[in-house]
Amino acid sequence: ARILGNLSLSLMELGKLDEARDRAERAIKVLEKNLDPDHPTVALAHVNLAMILRELGGLPGARANIERAGQVVLEFIKEIGK
Protein backbone atom coordinates (compact mmCIF):
# COMPACT_ATOMS: atom_id res chain seq x y z
CA ALA A 1 0.00 0.00 0.00
CA ARG A 2 2.87 2.37 0.77
CA ILE A 3 4.32 1.78 -2.69
CA LEU A 4 0.93 2.45 -4.28
CA GLY A 5 0.62 5.68 -2.31
CA ASN A 6 4.09 6.84 -3.27
CA LEU A 7 3.48 5.87 -6.88
CA SER A 8 0.23 7.85 -6.93
CA LEU A 9 2.05 10.99 -5.76
CA SER A 10 4.81 10.49 -8.32
CA LEU A 11 2.26 10.04 -11.09
CA MET A 12 0.51 13.21 -9.94
CA GLU A 13 3.80 15.12 -10.20
CA LEU A 14 4.22 13.76 -13.72
CA GLY A 15 0.73 14.96 -14.65
CA LYS A 16 -0.66 11.44 -15.01
CA LEU A 17 -3.65 12.26 -12.86
CA ASP A 18 -6.01 9.46 -13.84
CA GLU A 19 -3.36 6.85 -13.12
CA ALA A 20 -2.51 8.64 -9.88
CA ARG A 21 -6.16 8.56 -8.79
CA ASP A 22 -6.43 4.85 -9.54
CA ARG A 23 -3.31 4.03 -7.49
CA ALA A 24 -4.42 6.24 -4.60
CA GLU A 25 -7.83 4.59 -4.49
CA ARG A 26 -6.21 1.14 -4.54
CA ALA A 27 -3.87 2.18 -1.72
CA ILE A 28 -6.85 3.17 0.43
CA LYS A 29 -8.60 -0.15 -0.21
CA VAL A 30 -5.48 -2.13 0.70
CA LEU A 31 -4.85 -0.07 3.84
CA GLU A 32 -8.45 -0.34 5.02
CA LYS A 33 -8.37 -4.09 4.51
CA ASN A 34 -5.01 -4.66 6.21
CA LEU A 35 -5.15 -2.05 8.96
CA ASP A 36 -8.43 -0.45 9.92
CA PRO A 37 -10.50 2.21 8.16
CA ASP A 38 -9.82 4.47 11.16
CA HIS A 39 -6.03 4.05 11.18
CA PRO A 40 -3.98 7.28 10.83
CA THR A 41 -2.16 5.86 7.82
CA VAL A 42 -5.51 5.56 6.06
CA ALA A 43 -6.13 9.24 6.82
CA LEU A 44 -2.89 10.15 5.07
CA ALA A 45 -3.94 8.09 2.05
CA HIS A 46 -7.21 10.05 1.93
CA VAL A 47 -5.25 13.32 1.97
CA ASN A 48 -3.14 12.08 -0.94
CA LEU A 49 -6.26 11.17 -2.91
CA ALA A 50 -7.78 14.55 -2.12
CA MET A 51 -4.75 16.34 -3.58
CA ILE A 52 -5.04 14.30 -6.78
CA LEU A 53 -8.78 14.88 -7.06
CA ARG A 54 -8.26 18.61 -6.56
CA GLU A 55 -5.80 18.61 -9.46
CA LEU A 56 -8.40 16.78 -11.56
CA GLY A 57 -10.99 19.43 -10.67
CA GLY A 58 -12.99 17.04 -8.52
CA LEU A 59 -13.51 19.39 -5.61
CA PRO A 60 -16.47 17.52 -4.04
CA GLY A 61 -14.43 14.30 -4.00
CA ALA A 62 -11.39 16.13 -2.66
CA ARG A 63 -13.47 17.65 0.11
CA ALA A 64 -15.02 14.29 1.03
CA ASN A 65 -11.58 12.71 1.36
CA ILE A 66 -10.25 15.60 3.47
CA GLU A 67 -13.29 15.33 5.72
CA ARG A 68 -12.76 11.59 6.09
CA ALA A 69 -9.11 12.14 6.95
CA GLY A 70 -10.15 14.70 9.54
CA GLN A 71 -12.58 12.26 11.14
CA VAL A 72 -9.88 9.62 11.42
CA VAL A 73 -7.40 12.07 12.94
CA LEU A 74 -9.96 13.30 15.48
CA GLU A 75 -10.71 9.73 16.54
CA PHE A 76 -6.99 9.03 16.86
CA ILE A 77 -6.54 12.10 19.06
CA LYS A 78 -9.40 10.92 21.28
CA GLU A 79 -7.81 7.48 21.57
CA ILE A 80 -4.38 8.74 22.60
CA GLY A 81 -5.94 11.20 25.01
CA LYS A 82 -7.56 8.45 27.08
In degrees and rounded to multiples of 5, residue 33 shows phi and psi of -70, -40
Q: Please enumerate, as own/partner, the contacts of 61-70 that have beta carbons within 8 Å and a separation of 24 or more.
A: 68/43, 69/43, 69/44, 70/43
Fill in the DSSP letter of residue 35. S
Quote the crossing angle between the two packed helices 2-13 and 40-56, to the nearest 10°: 20
Q: What is the distance between the alpha carbons of residues 66 and 19, in angstroms, rounded to a whole number?
A: 20
Q: Is the pTM of this model over 0.95?
A: no
Tens digit of each residue's pLDDT, the chain (82 residues):
788 888 999 999 999 999 999 999 999 999 999 998 999 999 999 999 999 999 999 999 999 999 999 999 999 888 888 7
